[in-house]
Amino acid sequence: MTQALITAEERAQLLSNGQARVAGQVTDPLPVVRLFTPDAHVTWLLASLDPADSDTAYGLIDLGLGMPELGHVKLSDLASIVGPRQQPVMRDQYFQATRMLSDYARIAQANGSIVD
């Protein structure tokens, strides 16, 4: 794979958000990164990384089945996924969060998919 799933800056922000979660702080962060499969309509809006393993991410997961949900996924697992045309998971280099994670989740659940 030629493109990293997340940049060093994104990793630092994800870990910072993850540390707040682990510390028990009530948080509703902006998603930090949008990952997607260009050939399978799967999207992840990730908001935090577990500081214990730096691999387990938390965010909004849309598997393209009409039921987006908040949950966990391992970056190492995402790095090994390829779609039906052998396209790897990619990072949306132009993604800028415009709302909090809970708002993305509420809107996505109402629409059956992540809408932006």
**Residue 97 corresponds to which tokens in the numbers above?**
């969060």
**Can you tell me whether residue 15 is helix, strand or coil?**
helix
pLDDT in tens, 77-88: 999 988 888 889
Instruction: Map 23-64 to HEC letters.
Output: CCCCCCCCCCEEEEECCCCEEEEEEEECCCCCCEEEEEEECC
Residue 2 pLDDT class (50, 70, 90 cuts) = very low
Q: Residue 3's pLDDT band (boundaries 50, 70, 90)?
A: low
* pLDDT of residue 1 exceeding 80: no
Q: Please return the burial class of 95, using the count of CB atoms within 10 Å of its CB with bins 0-12, 13-18 and 19+.
A: middle
Percent of the chain whose predicted confidence (pLDDT) is above 90? 78
Distance CA 96, CA 34 (A): 9
How do residues 24-67 score in pLDDT, each as one tens digit?
888 899 999 999 998 888 999 999 999 999 999 999 999 989 99
